[in-house]
C-alpha cells in the first residue's frame, strides 16, 4: 500500500455545516455525550491542499487566514496521523488550509478540514480505503467528522460516529435554500459548553427525539418547527444578547434563528421575500461592525 507516484498535489473543498437539530440524550461512560443531530452542508468552505514532499514522515501545515492554526495544532494534522497509523504510509506531506469558515463557531470547520484531508489522501493512494474505513478513521479524529463523509443532509447519532443520509426528497427540498450566518466577534469552547450543559442535566428524552425526527423526515413536521438545539440553554444563560437578538429577528422579520452546534455562529433559513439587507443592518446594530455576517446556501 502506498501513494501513486504520479499524484503530487490534491486540493479539496471542506464545507461548513449547520445543525438544524441537536438533541443531547445523555452522558456516556466514556465521557462523551449521546447525541442526535441533523446537519446541513453549506456553500461556505475552506480549501485543503495536500502536497507530497521528499522528506519521509515530514508533516507541516500552513493555515492561511488563521495564524493560530499554523504548524500542526489542528484536526487536519490529527487526521494525517490517524491515516499514517492505519495505512503505514510515511510519505512526507505539506498541508495548506485556506480558511473561510470562522473558528470556534459551531460550523465544523476543523472537522471538515480533517475529513477533506482524509479524502485527499485517499485519492492519492494506490489502493484507496473503503468508506467504512474512512468512517472509522474520521471518528477517531473527532465526533463531528463522520458527518462530513455524507454529502448533503445527514443524521448523526451516538457521539456522532453513526451517520446516515436523510431521504433524497428531503435533501432536494432543502438544497439551495438561503441561509444567513451571523456570529458575534468571539468564539465559544465546545468543551466548556458541554460541561455547562452536563451540569444542568437537561437531557432530551430519547423517544421524543426519535418521534420528532420521524415526523420531520416524513414531512409531518415543518422545518421551522423542527429546528432545535439543546446546547442553547447554557449559552443563553451567559450570553443574553443572543436570545435578545433572536426575538427581534423573529418579531420583525418572521425568522426562526438558531445557534449552530455549540456556537457561537447563529443562522436563519430564509423564507420568501426576506429583506436580507435590513436583517443584516439589525444584526450589526446589535453586535457591531466586527460581527461576521454572510449569506450562503444549503448544498
> Count of alpha carbons within 13 Å of 279, Cβ hemisphere only?
26
Closest residue by Cα to residue 267 from 25, 115, 46, 42: 42
C-alpha cell at 18: 449547520
Please confirm, yes or no, whether 230 is among the known catalytic residues. no
Single out the catalytic residue among 17, 41, 183, 212.
Answer: 17
- Identify whether 46 is a catalytic site residue: no
Cβ atoms of 208 and 215 within 8 Å: the answer is: no
Rounded-to-integer distance, Cα 22 and Cα 28, Å: 16
DSSP element (H, E) containing 251 = helix 241-253
Alpha-carbon distance 217 to 211, whole Å?
A: 10
Active-site pick, 34, 46, 78, 144: 144
Bridge partner residues of 158 (DSSP): 35
Looking at the annotation, which residues are catalytic?
17, 144
Amino acid at each position: 500500500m502506498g501513494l501513486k507516484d504520479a499524484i503530487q498535489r490534491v486540493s479539496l473543498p471542506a464545507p461548513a455545516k449547520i445543525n438544524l437539530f441537536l438533541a443531547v440524550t445523555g452522558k456516556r461512560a466514556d465521557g462523551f455525550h449521546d447525541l442526535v443531530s441533523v446537519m446541513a452542508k453549506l456553500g461556505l468552505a475552506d480549501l485543503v491542499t495536500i502536497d507530497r514532499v521528499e522528506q519521509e514522515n515530514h508533516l507541516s501545515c500552513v493555515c492561511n487566514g488563521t495564524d493560530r492554526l499554523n504548524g500542526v495544532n489542528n484536526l487536519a494534522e490529527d487526521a494525517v496521523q490517524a491515516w499514517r497509523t492505519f495505512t503505514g504510509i510515511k510519505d512526507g506531506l505539506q498541508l495548506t488550509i485556506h480558511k473561510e469558515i470562522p473558528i470556534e463557531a459551531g460550523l465544523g470547520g476543523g472537522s471538515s478540514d480533517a475529513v477533506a484531508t482524509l479524502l485527499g489522501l485517499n485519492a492519492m493512494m494506490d489502493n484507496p480505503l473503503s468508506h467504512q474505513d474512512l468512517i472509522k478513521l474520521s471518528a477517531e479524529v473527532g465526533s463531528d467528522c463522520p458527518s462530513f463523509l455524507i454529502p448533503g443532509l445527514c443524521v448523526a447519532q451516538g457521539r456522532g460516529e453513526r451517520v446516515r443520509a436523510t431521504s433524497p426528497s428531503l435533501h432536494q427540498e432543502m438544497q439551495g435554500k438561503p441561509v444567513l450566518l451571523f456570529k458575534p466577534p468571539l468564539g465559544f469552547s465546545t468543551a466548556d459548553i458541554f460541561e455547562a450543559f452536563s451540569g444542568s442535566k437537561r437531557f432530551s428524552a430519547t423517544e421524543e427525539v426519535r418521534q420528532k425526527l420521524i415526523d420531520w423526515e416524513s414531512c409531518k413536521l415543518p422545518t421551522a418547527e423542527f429546528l432545535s438545539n439543546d446546547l442553547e440553554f447554557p449559552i443563553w444563560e451567559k450570553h443574553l444578547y443572543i436570545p435578545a437578538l433572536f426575538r427581534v429577528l423573529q418579531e420583525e422579520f418572521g425568522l426562526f434563528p438558531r445557534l449552530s452546534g455549540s456556537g457561537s455562529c447563529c443562522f436563519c433559513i430564509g423564507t420568501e421575500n426576506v429583506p436580507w439587507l435590513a436583517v443584516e443592518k439589525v444584526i450589526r446594530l446589535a453586535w457591531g461592525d466586527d460581527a461576521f455576517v454572510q449569506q450562503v446556501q444549503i448544498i
